[in-house]
Amino acid sequence: MLALTGISVRYGDRRVLHDVDVTVVRGELLTVLGANGSGKSTLLRAAAGLVPTESGTVTVAGRPRGRLDVAMVFQQIHLVRRRSVLDNVCCGALGRLSLRRSMLPALFPREVREEAMACLDRVGLADRAHDRAGSLSGGQQQRVAIARALCQRAGVVLADEPVSALDPAAAEQVMALLAELAHTEGLAVLAVLHQPALAARHADRLVGLRAGHVVLDGAPDQPVDDLYRERVAA
């Protein structure tokens, strides 16, 4: 589904990703682990087209990645806190609305509102649709952000430390939700994590990055201590 092939990224004169190959198939939750600075976020940004790549290709379902092919979920949950939960989820559809409609998000068409409601139902928050987004807990807000990603109808979800700001119970819930959505909706989900135990419990596969190189790719419960042992200059 998502294929990064031979990706290298350079910031100034420093290369931080070296010829990285990562694939995520439909229906799979892949987690990326690695020490601070190993290049995890850069990998996600390259997958989303948010940083220029020095070399390599990013494809979704065999075609060059398009603007609406990937949805993102971040550690900092970017919801419009004063708007309703439902309006925030509707925003996932903005990319496919006409310019006139996207300029007037107060007037989301009924079909978008219905779809957003179904997405909220998928994450277990339909009953909070009309509450202000800012009134929800952090874990609930992250589930709203995931519902917004679903409403984008992207086949690929990229999650950058989606549980780092959450308490352990909410973190488990969000990771279980990402795995379930991958499995039941056929999404390809790539999540950067700092918690090997969460990866072992929820992921289908893990990739380990060290100094911008892929050094592990396999079972989610394999030993990962080497990733964190010592820093190697990129």
CA distance 223 to 145: 31
Task: Give yes or no for residue 42 binding ligand ATP (CB under 6 A).
Answer: yes
Quickly tell me which residue has 């919801």 as its tokens.
79
DSSP state of 93: G
Question: Per CB under 6 A, which region of 29-37, 59-67, 164-172, 199-207 contacts ligand ATP?
Answer: 29-37
Task: Give yes or no for residue 39 binding ligand ATP (CB under 6 A).
Answer: yes
Q: Tell me which of 6, 11, 127, 197 binds ligand ATP, using CB under 6 A.
A: 11
Question: Per CB under 6 A, which region of 37-45, 103-111, 135-143, 182-190 contacts ligand ATP?
Answer: 37-45
Task: Give yes or no for residue 38 binding ligand ATP (CB under 6 A).
Answer: yes
CA pseudo-torsion sign 223, 224, 225, 226? positive
Task: Please give the order of strands across the beta sheet that includes 2-11.
Answer: 14-24, 2-11, 55-60, 63-64
Task: Give yes or no for residue 34 binding ligand ATP (CB under 6 A).
Answer: yes
CA distances (Å), 84 to each of 113, 116, 134, 136, 187, in order? 12, 12, 8, 10, 26
Q: Tell me which of 31, 41, 140, 173 binds ligand ATP, using CB under 6 A.
A: 41
In angstroms, give the least distance from the CB of 37 to ligand ATP. 4
Q: Tell me which of 36, 99, 110, 229 binds ligand ATP, using CB under 6 A.
A: 36
Task: Give yes or no for residue 196 binding ligand ATP (CB under 6 A).
Answer: no
CA distance 30 to 203: 6
- Point out which residues bind ligand ATP (CB under 6 A): 11, 16, 34, 36-42
